[in-house]
Amino acid sequence: MHSEPYLLDPSDDGVQVLWHTAAPARGAVRLGDRRVEATSSALVSLFDDEGIRATVWRHWSDVRGLGAGRTPYRVESVFADGAVTESKTYTLAPAVPRHRPVRLLLSSDHQMWRNTPANLAKVAETVGVELDGVLFAGDMVGVPARAADWFEHPTGRGFFESMTGRADTEIGGRRYRGAPLLQHTPLFPAIGNHEVMGRRTRHRTLQARFDDPAPDAWDTAAYEELFPVPRGPAGPRWWSRTVGDVFVVALFVTRAWRDEINTYLEPPDRTGDPQGGQFLFERVDAGSPQHAWLAGELASPAARAARFRVVLFHHGSHGLGAHCVPAYADPVKLVSGGAVRYAYPIHDDVVFRDLAPLFAAAGVDLVLNGHSHLWNRFRDAAGVNWLETSNVGNSYGAFPERGDPGGLTPVLPTVAPLRDAAGTPLPFVADDDVTVFSVLDSADGVVRSYRFDTREPDGPVVLFDELPLKISG
């Protein structure tokens, strides 16, 4: 294995370049005649399917001294036997200067789903691969400690395979390889529930461990090794950066997801287990360190000076998807006749109660979420736009008859909405064949959303919605 490079956390004169090998090597980034050595170390949080620690080495170069514009580069790895492996030549750039416009891909929930490589291939065809950032709202893989989910997955759709153009998936007679995005464009990620592993000592398989977190026994170790930057006061779990004229905040807002208790009934074999239902991982309610930090960041000079303010986190409380319920609240344990159930009071939803007021007061323009595998958007009374654009591979469906748990009316796509059998325009895209991506273009002050029907491989990519980030008057 020799992965393609990926870019993280650009600075005023540089960017972080990372890649991986299956054997120890000396790594370096080559920029013409210039060579920037890499720090190389073995990852300790990735395993194979048998639970044996995978042999994966990380190579990390802090490339500085870059001028304006894009610089060609390649990475090389020199192994103990003298063999040398080089990547193709790509381009990198320092951070976009403040107040300059940017183009940012908005994505989430790849998880090796079938349509993900097609989605990313259409991104490249539509807007190219030299963007200013990918804002990723969580759920990159299925099991974060499983090395194959990141590299060389049996489906050919590992996270880095799709995001670097090395995937291999056939749909409708057409082969899709994803796109070489991360070699050119820095990734700005947030943690989803599929970046969190559960208890280490109880299970023989990685899947079983992933399925069994407890309030005092979970970790994001694999995520933090693969994406060590950007960093905030809690390391890479939550952070803020200015990307051109956009101030970006990433939060750790997700919880243990247990499909078997969506009916709020705890299985009998867990009734004595104090795991607490669908509990919240990292505190973000008022009084927590993350909430206090967020309030300070949104009130900072950097946030106030930016043209746009964007917050990304995984769990969306506004939405029409199945995963918007139950409320993002601490579970309340109910015992009746020996059966254990959990209630999730809507008035205790942390996003509505403790985050939305901060967003309104700070003039946040966009909240980006994932988790439900669909596209839908809302605009609240304070002018904050709430967007989920996570239908990259498969969908769990939309339930408009239930309505938004927060009481907002979904916004119909402004250009070319999908329609139901009666011809009625739909305020969502939730389809296993139609894949969606969105791009924030700050020069125009708009988020454009596109869809592609994989059943029609020669069909067009359709611009179906334009979301104005600010509405005058």
| Residues 213-270 pLDDT 10s | 888 889 999 999 999 999 999 999 999 999 999 999 999 999 987 654 443 344 444 5
Rounded Cα distance between 302 and 251, Å, is: 17
Q: What average pLDDT does range 37-63 have in this prediction?
A: 94
Tens of pLDDT along 148-186?
A: 999 999 999 999 999 999 999 999 999 999 999 999 999
Evaluate if residue 466 carries a pLDDT over 70.
Answer: yes
Range with lowest mean pLDDT among 125-129, 272-276, 385-389, 403-407 = 272-276
Under the banding of pLDDT at 50, 70 and 90, the label for residue 276 is low
Is residue 309 over pLDDT 80?
A: yes
Provide the pLDDT for residue 259. Answer: 57
Q: ∠ CA(118), CA(123), CA(129), 5° rounding?
A: 120
pLDDT greater than 90 at residue 342: no
Where are the CATH 2.60.40.10 domain residues in the chain? 1-94
**What local confidence, expressed as pLDDT, does residue 277 receive?**
78
The chain-wide mean pLDDT, for the chain, equals 93
Token pair recorded at residue 295: 């309030």
Residue 2: its pLDDT value, please? 84
For residue 443 the two structure tokens come to 């020069």
Task: Quote the Cα angle for 61-64-65, to 5°.
Answer: 150
If we measure between CA atoms, which residue out of 64, 91, 96, 95 comes closest to residue 75? 91
Instruction: Please list, in sequence order, all residues whose beta carbon lies within 8 angstroms of the beta carbon of residue 383, skipping any fewer than 6 positions away.
Output: 363, 365, 470, 471
Residue 214: what pLDDT? 86
Dihedral sign for Cα 174, 178, 180, 185, please: positive
Count of positions (residues) in the chain: 473
Domain spanning 1-94: which superfamily?
A: Immunoglobulins (2.60.40.10)
Least confident of 181-185, 231-235, 433-437, 469-473: 469-473
Q: What proportion of the chain, given as a percentage, has pLDDT over 90?
A: 84
The answer to whether the CB of 316 falls within 8 A of the CB of 106 is no
* CATH 3.60.21.10 location in the chain: 96-468
Q: What pLDDT shows up at residue 17?
A: 98
Lowest model confidence (mean pLDDT) among 199-208, 334-343, 372-381, 453-462: 334-343
User: CATH says 96-468 is which class?
Assistant: alpha beta
Structure tokens at 466: 């334009």
The residues, any chain, with a CB within 8 Å of residue 330's CB and separated by 6 or more, are 276, 279, 280, 344, 348
Distance CA 410, CA 274 (A): 37
Nearest to 311 by CA among 411, 386, 220, 392: 386
Nearest-angstrom CA–CA distance, 227 and 178? 20
CA distances from 219 to 4, 179, 264 (A): 26, 30, 25
| pLDDT of the residue at 263 | 38
Q: Which residues contact 325 (CB under 8 A, 6 or more apart)?
A: 344, 402, 405
Q: How many CB atoms lie within 10 A of CB 78?
A: 14
DSSP 34-66: EEEE-EEEE-SS-B-TTSPBP--EEEEEEE---
In this predicted structure, the answer to whether residue 82 has a pLDDT above a threshold of 70 is yes
Mean pLDDT confidence for 318-341:
84
More confident residue, 168 or 325: 168
